[in-house]
Amino acid sequence: MKRLEYTRRDFLKALSACTASMALPWIPGHAATGKPPNFIIIFCDDLGYGDLSTFGHPTINTPNLDRMAQEGQKWTNFYAAASVCTPSRAALLTGRLPIRNGMCSDKRRVLFPDSAGGLPPSEITIAKALKTKGYTTTCIGKWHLGHLPRYLPTRHGFDSYYGIPYSNDMDRVAGEGRQAFFNPKIEYFNVPLMRDEKIIERPADQTTITKRYAEEAIRFIKANKRNPFFVYLAHNLPHVPLFVSKDFKDQSLRGLYGDVVEEIDWGVGRILDTLRQEGVAENTLVVFTSDNGPWLTFMQHGGSAGLLRGGKGATYDGGMREPTIFWWPGQIKPGIVTDLGSTLDLFATISHLAGAKIPRDRVMDSLDLEPALFGTGPSPRQTMFFYRGAQLYAVRKGLYKAHFITKPAYGSNLQETRHDPPLLYNLGHDPSEQYDVARDHPDMIADILREVERHRATLTPVEDQLAKRIGDNP
């Protein structure tokens, strides 16, 4: 065996390092540079739980997201707060269930170009919270929280905005029936591309939109790397109609849908590479997730929820459990996290890491995920409420999920079904929600019903923002 020899210099160097580590205890978010951490949220549209190779897809190649998961944390029980676009985005940015601020409705499930409502000015977004601590903030991509000036990102704490203000299938002006979605052209959808509060391109060239969003994020990072920053990058895709740039067209074994996801993956890789090159990777928390599950009615143009049941529009897990990755080199220990988490929790987690105050003048649904992120304890989230519109359909507590009302995903004409007693699934044993175990666990049903009572006691009536239309009588 070769003998290891140490010099006096080696000893003093090791002693110095040990002493320094004892004098300067590790503080999450400040260990690398002593500066407040930066934050980037990359939010996809209609991406399914099974649509990344790191989450099990056999033919969609996502090497950058795979590497992000290997270097960071893959969360396997992470939920959006709604199964459709508008309420899901409102929940992420405010840390509040949409039922609390009128951003969900039984009349219209999302905002449209003729909508008169939007995220109320009284709401505090992650961007507003971070502005109190000197952050520079930008929103890139799909907003869908109100396209009228008073509701735009620049009125909700973002210093700048670049993107399409609602879904990419809106403002349709041409195309025959569903073929307009299966064989889309740019000119079929007269959606505007905005810079701050001005339209700069219409119709937006959606074949280059994913690439341009990534490039916009990269420019922002380079320009603001010396100061704390927040990037909210909300892709319009892979929501139908599907568009992809020429560099990615016909490249995926999964077809056009795979091409779109692989281009998003490329953009993620470019952003992470930029953080490394600019020397801010170890001071930047990046979160990748999606707003809701796949739009199953569009068949091969929609994604896959993997082994989960249902998809977009439904409160089965396929509609709201999302493929989620947290990445923060040198700060969080890589691994797979099976604890519960939600997009709702990004508000509290980010605010606490930045030293910003959590609002105390309103009910918050956001919990700080730092214990699970940094390995100091379990996630504080034990319960998740599943709304469809303004109706509570299901509740998860621990491993068990009770369904009071069920209705299939978007695209089905089937009516809702009410369950008394509720259906009950053990999501640890049965993540596909196939086997009702209610008869064996009446105590768990009673426990969940008590959670419902406590939750409903915190609700107060609010104005329905999604039902209001331009031109309606006041």
The residue behind tokens 């590497």 is: 67
CA 117 to chain centroid, in Å, comes to: 22
Distance of alpha carbon 268 from alpha carbon 266, whole angstroms = 5
- Domain residue ranges of the chain, discontinuous segments joined by +: 38-381, 385-456
Asked if pLDDT for residue 10 goes beyond 60, the answer is: no
- Identify whether 203 is preceded by a cis peptide bond (ω within 30 of 0): yes
pLDDT > 70 in the chain, percent: 92
- Selecting among 57, 144, 147, 301, the annotated active-site residue is 144
Asked if pLDDT for residue 25 goes beyond 50, the answer is: no
Distance of alpha carbon 474 from alpha carbon 472, whole angstroms = 6
Q: What is the pLDDT of residue 24?
A: 32
pLDDT tens digits for range 120-149: 999 999 999 999 999 999 999 999 999 999
Mean pLDDT over residues 173-177, rounded? Answer: 92
Annotated active-site residue 144? The verdict is yes
pLDDT > 90 in the chain, percent: 89
pLDDT band at 472 (very low <50, low <70, confident <90, very high): confident
Instruction: Please give the CATH architecture assigned to the domain spanning 385-456.
Output: 2-Layer Sandwich (3.30)
Q: Which amino acid is at 178?
A: R
Mean pLDDT over residues 51-62, rounded? Answer: 98
pLDDT band at 39 (very low <50, low <70, confident <90, very high): very high
Distance of alpha carbon 154 from alpha carbon 303, whole angstroms = 32
Does the domain made of 38-381 have the CATH classification 3.40.720.10? yes
- Selecting among 44, 85, 104, 139, the annotated active-site residue is 85
Q: Which residue would you say has higher pLDDT here, 56 or 35?
A: 56
Query: How many angstroms separate the most distant Cα atoms in the chain?
Result: 88
Q: What is the pLDDT of residue 474?
A: 61
Annotated active-site residue 85? The verdict is yes
Q: What is the pLDDT of residue 33?
A: 57
The residue behind tokens 């591309």 is: 193
Q: Which of 82, 8, 78 is nearest to 46 (CA)?
A: 82
pLDDT tens digits for range 332-359: 999 999 999 999 999 999 999 999 999 9
